[in-house]
């Protein structure tokens, strides 16, 4: 039987990708996208940060920048959704075109520049959630382009939105905001994460949301050692590895391969997984990791988990496979667990480091 996205996907991809993305958000908001049957199996459950994740498969930031459809995506089979990146003030981002499909490479290049409606608009969206779906919603925070003191923007955003977040992500790894990746240096990162940790802990909340840091794949060995040290010293609760890359593999075929911006999708898989594995080793497996970058199948999600990820995220694969991908990956993960003789997905975390 032909699925919904197999029918509409080719038509959607005839249009400008950013326009098509807007249509997808609207269709999800209106409930027009069919929901797959849930994959409910205790073998996929992950206990982390005091939460029970129904499966390890989540949606990465960037898809739902303004928190319009977090519950709709949870109902598509994702166990957690990361909205944003959000900045304190609204900003239009970079000029269009700024989103490119690399269809031959199963990849995407973006240079949005943190376009979003700002923290006030996001607060209204999250406060207005009525028919909440099962799962967890995190918020990805960035800085406004013109802000000189980045710490102020992250603290301001967290103070305004932390009450709505099941987890908080500090994004210092987007390649499309000038100077942002410089915050991954040891001294500025330590200063930032110390201030953010204080802001998170200072919220008057019954449960303090875990604080995560999202890093780039384009890091030197020294960069990774410094980041791992800061994460431990500043009591960061987890790492997301990785954001998009500014590298362009020689194997790219698409006519859009030379566009500037961050590359995501299949060409990023190997590099992002290697960085993930490095952080697992550098933190002795003591810091929970979320693996993201190039996941388009259960096998690739499983590879991230075996490399050290407690959870995984995807986004670019939605362009080519549609929102039902979470359902398919969860089914494939169950088969892979059985093949390896694991009783629960958590037994596979970091398995490659033990073999």
Reported as a single tens digit per residue, the pLDDT across 210-267 is 999 999 999 999 999 999 999 999 999 999 999 999 999 999 999 999 999 999 999 9
The range of the structural domain enclosing residue 254 comes to: 42-353
Lowest mean pLDDT among 12-16, 37-41, 263-267, 268-272: 12-16
Structure tokens at 167: 């987890």
Supply the residues annotated as catalytic: 174
pLDDT of 299 reads: 98
Tell me what the mean pLDDT of segment 39-53 comes to.
97
Q: What is the pLDDT of residue 14?
A: 76
- What is residue 10's predicted lDDT score, i.e. its pLDDT? 74
**Average pLDDT over the chain, rounded to an integer:** 95
* pLDDT > 70? residue 304: yes
Determine the pLDDT at residue 1. 36
Name the pLDDT band for 4 (thresholds 50, 70, 90). Answer: low
Q: What is the largest CA-CA distance in the chain?
A: 56
Average pLDDT for 337-348: 98
Q: What is the pTM of this model?
A: 0.96
What is the per-residue pLDDT across 106-131, written as a single tens digit (0 to 9) for each? 999 999 999 999 999 999 999 999 99
Strands lying side by side in the sheet with 107-110: 99-102, 107-110, 262-265
d(CA 329, CA 338): 14
Residue 270 lies in a domain: yes
How far apart (Å, rounded) are the C-alpha atoms in residues 319 and 103? 9
**What's the confidence (pLDDT) of residue 15?**
86
Structure tokens at 190: 């330590």
83 lies in some domain = yes
Name the more confident of 9 and 47. Answer: 47
Q: What CATH number did the domain enclosing 156 receive?
A: 3.20.20.70
**291 occurs within a structural domain:** yes
- How far is residue 158 from each of residues 46, 199, 303, measured CA to CA in Å? 26, 7, 33
Q: Are strands 57-59 and 311-314 parallel, antiparallel or unpaired?
A: parallel
For residue 36, being part of any structural domain is answered with no
Task: Give percent of the chain with pLDDT exceeding 70.
Answer: 97
For residue 74 the two structure tokens come to 């949870």
In a domain, 116, yes or no: yes
Does 317 map to a domain? yes
Statement: residue 9 has pLDDT above 80:
no
- Domains in the chain, number: 1
User: Average pLDDT of 157-166?
Assistant: 98
User: Which of left, alpha, beta for 231 (phi over 0: left; psi -120 to 50: alpha)?
Assistant: alpha
Question: Domain for residue 21, yes or no?
Answer: no
């Amino acid at each position: 039987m032909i699925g919904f996205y197999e029918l509409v996907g080719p038509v959607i991809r005839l249009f400008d990708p950013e326009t098509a993305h807007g249509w997808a958000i609207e269709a999800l908001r209106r409930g027009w996208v069919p929901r797959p049957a849930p994959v409910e199996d205790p073998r996929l459950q992950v206990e982390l940060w005091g939460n029970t994740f129904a499966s390890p498969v989540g949606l990465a930031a960037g898809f739902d920048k303004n928190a319009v459809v977090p519950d709709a995506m949870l109902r598509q089979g994702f166990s957690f959704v990361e909205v944003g990146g959000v900045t304190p003030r609204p900003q239009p981002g970079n000029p269009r075109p700024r989103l490119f499909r690399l269809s031959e490479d199963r990849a995407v290049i973006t240079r949005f520049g943190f376009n979003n409606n700002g923290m006030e608009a996001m607060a209204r969206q999250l406060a207005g959630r009525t028919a909440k779906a099962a799962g967890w919603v995190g918020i990805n925070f960035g800085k406004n382009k013109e802000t000189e003191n980045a710490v102020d923007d992250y603290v301001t955003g967290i103070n305004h939105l932390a009450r709505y977040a099941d987890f908080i992500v500090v994004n210092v790894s987007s390649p499309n905001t000038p100077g942002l990746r410089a915050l991954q240096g040891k001294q500025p990162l330590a200063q930032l994460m110390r201030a953010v940790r204080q802001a998170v802990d200072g919220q008057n909340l019954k449960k303090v949301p875990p604080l995560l840091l999202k890093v780039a794949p384009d890091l030197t060995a020294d960069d990774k050692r410094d980041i791992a040290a800061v994460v431990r010293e500043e009591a960061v609760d987890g790492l997301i590895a990785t954001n998009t890359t500014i590298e362009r593999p020689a194997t790219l075929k698409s006519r859009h391969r030379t566009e500037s911006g961050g590359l995501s999708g299949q060409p990023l898989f190997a590099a992002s997984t290697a960085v993930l594995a490095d952080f697992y080793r550098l933190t002795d497996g003591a810091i929970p990791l979320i693996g993201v970058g190039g996941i388009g199948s259960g096998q690739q999600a499983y590879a991230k988990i075996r490399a050290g990820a407690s959870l995984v995220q995807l986004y670019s694969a939605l362009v080519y496979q549609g929102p039902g991908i979470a359902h398919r990956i969860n089914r494939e993960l169950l088969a892979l667990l059985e093949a390896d003789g694991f009783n629960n997905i958590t037994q596979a975390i970091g398995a490659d480091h033990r073999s």
